[in-house]
Structure 1
Amino acid sequence: MIPAPMDSPARAGSLGHATGAAEPGVPGRATGTGTAGEAGALERAIEEIPLVDHHVHGALDGDPSRRRFEELITESDRPVPAWMTQFDSQLGFAVLRHCAPVLGLDPHPDPETYLARRAELGAGEVNRRLLAAAGVGHFLLETGYGGEEILGPAPMAALTGRPVEEVVRLESVAEGVVAGGTDAAGFAARFEAALWERTRAARGLKSVVAYRYGLDVDPAPPAPAEVVAAAGRWLRESERTGTIRVGDPVLLRHLIWTGIGRGLPLQFHTGYGDPDLDLRRCDPLLLRGLIELAEPRGVPLLLLHCYPYHRNAGYLAQVYPHVYFDVGLGVNHTGARGVAVVAESLELAPFAKILFSSDAWGPAELHHLGALLWRRAMTRVLGGFVADGEWSEPQAVRVATMIGARNARRVYGLGETG
């Protein structure tokens, strides 16, 4: 853990409802109709939760071109066509509406004005303002993808003044073992040793089996002879192509079960993502066999993102005691419709089984919006329950606090104050 002070950051108005430019001398705090003094008690309570972002990546370390920025606000890996802009999307509109005031602009500027202001401030100041405005109290940073383009745990902690701890990607550890040199017979033992060493201070593990094969992988742990044979195939393929990327389903199963043996909470990407995955094979229901086989181990399994299968994930979280889920990047990418996604996530699962994450990677806009849009959605959904007389206000505050922070603190053993 990288310790840091836990004072409350300034944020952009109350849940992003402000209509004016940023208040002079207070980056990220905007004036308008949605101030904390005028907001209801529920809105204020949700605004003040020091969120635990239990699955997030580093902020972008540098000033992106317009082309690169647009590539980073979509899950597409194709070039943006010349006749369109990614700003014309729910996420693009959310950037212009909610991030512009944090950078000292009126809401809803045109993309050119927004990006010019971003460049004027520079990456360091943009990151500082947007990350502070998110109001996250603790980051669990997944470090398996991104390299030098994004900030690692120590720079993120220095920038935010918040604790930043690591979630380790299983596939990256395996690829590091092969890059460092191994034979097929020794792979399993070397991977296990490397995983334990790599995770001495980690809070969790992550698998991207959804990307490398699909969630319909055979759920059973492979036999040792199968692992040796699969490792041999992988080593020969890596030598032939010069690329080290684990994708053999036998090896992916072995990594998962070794991770379960490690005993740390294990995250799975499910649902929406870039075209490197087949969305049809990313329904979390496909993990049911693995979930049942792993249940006696008692290791928490965390289903990330889940959209558009978040209702299925809610079912799994209801019926299996060791299963948890979030709606992660689904909230950012649905923007003004994120309220509906959050509402649907609250239908089946016990509230102790739902967590908050942003899955932000790159532009700090994604870190800020992940928190702001989630807070706004929770306020509107839970506020509706209270207004209808279905819930009391204290119940709504307690549930929001559970999902926003307390559940993650319990699952990952973070303690009450981080």
Structure 2
Amino acid sequence: MSTDSLVMVDHHCHGLIRTDLGREEFEQLATEATTPPAPGTSHFDSPVGLAIRAHCAPVLGLPPHAAPGGYLARRNELGCAEVARRLLAAAGIDTFLLDCGFRAADLLTPAEMERIGDVSTREITRLEAVLESTAWEGAAHLADGFGATLAAECAESRSVGLKSIIAYRHGLDFDPARPGRREVLAAADAWLRAGGRVEDPVLLRHALWCGVDLGLPLQFHVGYGDPDIVLYRNDPTLMTEFIRAVSVPIMLLHCYPYHREAGYLAAVYPHVHFDVGLAVSFTGPSAERVIAESMELAPYTKVLFSSDAFGLPELYLLGSLLFRRGLAATLARWQDDGHVDAADVARITSLVCGGNALRVYGLDVHG
């Protein structure tokens, strides 16, 4: 089927950076590393760096594979707003589901994203951000009133889903049980006295279960991310008992290198869905193989598209372009081998690129 007719729903992404960028700032946004590159090297020397030069440079009026210095000079010549308009238009995404819970002051708001990208946007509420924003109300409120606060926040922002970063703050090997009030009070009191971000697993579980009570799709960061995670504790099968205990849609994000494990969970639990979002842009030339592996076992009604783009409009374009190419190549092989026909290819493509997100998040075609 023609990709021009697809409804593309990016079911997990972030806003764009507000300002023009120097080379160091750009490179830091184009990596999950939190440190500068090794001496004598560049973050352009990576799969995502190759992909930016190959696929984004022509959209900005440069030849493919333009040198990094020339690419960044052209970027600053056009200005961040024009770069964003061009790259978002080329991405062909119709709806963004935006997680605004991280570095919100540095990024465009959902309304600004709608205007610059001519797209529909809806919000995903990050549980830990709401929890930390209510610390001033005290331990008793966190124990007894957080659920109501979360519900009010979701209603105000018209959120269509929730997100947890318990993978960063603790790991996915958490106790699946809902914590008792005394546990929550003790953990909240200790956290409020110590300060800092929420890392106590009792409070993180309390936020999760308050989210479950709202019945919205619940996103989890899984697998690949910045060095704040411990990767082996990000295997989604570690949260199997929690998955068994709930019935809300569970949305496993990114998943690499555990995308096969995520596919297994999606195959055996009716409410589990997943994507390979972040991995698509960051594996660049190898994205097709990652996409094919993610579809080895999972029902195609459980696979979604996301870019996890943060800050750089390049990541929206790469996420969409590389995903569509990788999916098309995978399905073409299936068709050549007689596993599917043209109608199957069209239906699978439509569901994975947007239809599954429309159904699970309760959206209409206009977001």
Counterpart contact for 1:46–1:379, Cα < 8 Å: no
Aligned residue among 260, 265, 279 for 2:217: 265
Counterpart position of 1:183: 138
How far did residue 188 of structure 1 move?
2.1
User: Structure 1 residue 79 and structure 2 residue 36: aligned?
Assistant: yes
Counterpart position of 1:17: none
How far did residue 47 of structure 1 move?
4.3
User: Structure 1 residue 394 and structure 2 residue 318: aligned?
Assistant: no
Aligned residue among 248, 263, 272 for 1:299: 248
Letter in 2 for 1:77: T
Could you tell me how far apart the structure 2 residues matched to 1:171 and 1:92 are?
A: 31
Could you tell me how far apart the structure 2 residues matched to 1:153 and 1:329 are?
A: 20
Runs in 1 of length 4+ with deviation above 3 angstroms?
A: none
Counterpart position of 1:8: none
Aligned residue among 112, 134, 137 for 2:91: 134
How far did residue 398 of structure 1 move?
0.7
Counterpart position of 2:113: 156
Could you tell me how far apart the structure 1 residues matched to 2:53 and 2:365 are?
A: 35
Could you tell me how far apart the structure 1 residues matched to 2:35 and 2:175 are?
A: 31
Letter in 2 for 1:279: L
Structure 1 residue ranges without an equivalent (≥5): 1-41
SS in 1 for 2:10: strand
User: Structure 1 residue 369 and structure 2 residue 324: aligned?
Assistant: no
SS in 1 for 2:137: coil
SS in 2 for 1:100: helix
Aligned residue among 326, 330, 335 for 2:284: 335
**Structure-to-structure mapping, 1:8-407, within 5 angstroms:** 42=1, 45-178=2-135, 181-200=136-155, 201-238=158-195, 243=196, 245-294=197-246, 298-407=247-356
How far did residue 186 of structure 1 move?
2.4
Letter in 2 for 1:113: G
SS in 1 for 2:207: helix
Alpha-carbon distance change, 308 to 364 in structure 1, aligned in 2, over 3 angstroms: same
Letter in 1 for 2:208: I
Structure 2 residue ranges without an equivalent (≥5): none
Letter in 1 for 2:212: I
Report the more deviating stretch, 90-99 or 385-394: 385-394
- Please report the RMSD computed on the Cα atoms of aligned residues, expressed in angstroms: 1.0
Letter in 2 for 1:155: E
Counterpart contact for 2:7–2:365, Cα < 8 Å: no
Could you tell me how far apart the structure 2 residues matched to 1:120 and 1:78 are?
A: 27
TM value normalised by structure 2? 0.98
Counterpart contact for 2:307–2:320, Cα < 8 Å: yes
Bigger helix fraction: 2
Could you tell me how far apart the structure 1 residues matched to 2:295 and 2:148 are?
A: 40
SS in 1 for 2:125: strand
Counterpart contact for 1:46–1:397, Cα < 8 Å: no
Could you tell me how far apart the structure 2 residues matched to 1:269 and 1:192 are?
A: 21
Letter in 2 for 1:118: R
How far did residue 48 of structure 1 move?
3.2
Counterpart contact for 1:58–1:141, Cα < 8 Å: yes
Could you tell me how far apart the structure 2 residues matched to 1:123 and 1:82 are?
A: 28
Counterpart position of 1:34: none
Structure number, greater radius of gyration: 1
Deviations 1:263-313 (A, max 9, x none): 11000000000000100100001110100011xxx3101000000000000
Report the more deviating stretch, 377-386 or 45-54: 45-54
How far did residue 163 of structure 1 move?
1.0
Could you tell me how far apart the structure 2 residues matched to 1:313 and 1:47 are?
A: 29
Counterpart position of 1:9: none
SS in 1 for 2:94: strand
SS in 2 for 1:377: helix
Could you tell me how far apart the structure 2 residues matched to 1:363 and 1:278 are?
A: 25
Could you tell me how far apart the structure 2 residues matched to 1:65 and 1:98 are?
A: 20
Counterpart contact for 1:134–1:372, Cα < 8 Å: yes
Counterpart contact for 2:15–2:113, Cα < 8 Å: yes
The alignment-based identity, stated in percent, is: 51
Could you tell me how far apart the structure 2 residues matched to 1:185 and 1:196 are?
A: 17
TM value normalised by structure 1? 0.86
